[in-house]
A and B are shown apart, each in its own frame.
Chain A
Amino acid sequence: DVVMTQTPVSLSVSLGGQVSISCRSSQSLVHNNGNTYLSWYLQKPGQSPQLLIYKVSNRFSGISDRFSGSGSGTDFTLKISRVEPDDLGVYYCGQGTQYPYTFGAGTKLELK
């Protein structure tokens, strides 16, 4: 199975600040069809996860441009700029390239 390793485990940020979360996969996430199915999700307390970014860098419908994804192969990054209170929660990366699909362990974003 593809292991997804997220760092850091937790992150403290001031409102208005910027943060980056790293996600590394144990194998390349480039699919045979040329797509890289790496996504980012945010789970706010008591809620379901919500999709933020898909295929590395594509923002999902309604997602602010303060969220950006980058990377390739096995190394990926989520950046959040001008952090707002509604951004707090646990961020997960996930891969949909190789079955079984897998998720990282999560990064908790908290206020400093």
Chain B
Amino acid sequence: QIQLVQSGPELKKPGESLKISCKASGYTFTDYAMQWVKQAPGKGLQYMGWINTQTGKPTYADDFKERFVFSLETSASTAYLQINNLKNEDTATYFCARNRYFDYWGQGVMVTVSS
């Protein structure tokens, strides 16, 4: 069955960096784009952008063009989200999801940024 399994929760200080993983299984990884979505505590879904799993080319929504990096390890069917220079407002759950339909979602990674 198709699954997206994400890495575990993170507790970081402002200014630090982190890298979240999203491991896909049950389908051919390079056949579908990978999307990233942010959900701040108690808030709705905010689209961050996507990465082309065939070329590795990332595309970022405007709010995520600085400090955010999408990458791949195709041999491991894994997508990554790196956030640099963490800020308090990065505290949120981050989801990966497959293709433009967001048909399969990871379980989410809760990131807490606090001094």
- Residues of chain A at the chain B interface (Cβ within 8 Å): 37, 39, 41, 43, 48-51, 54-55, 60, 90, 92, 94, 96, 99-106
Contacts and interface: CB of A to CB of B under 8 A. Distances in A.
Given A39-B102, A94-B102, A103 B108 contact: no
Given A92-B45, A101-B47, A51 B103 contact: yes
Interface residues of B, number: 21
B89 interface: no
Interface string B2-31: 000000000000000000000000000000
Nearest to B99: A96
A48 B101 contact: no
Contacts of B104: 51
A50 B107 CA distance: 10
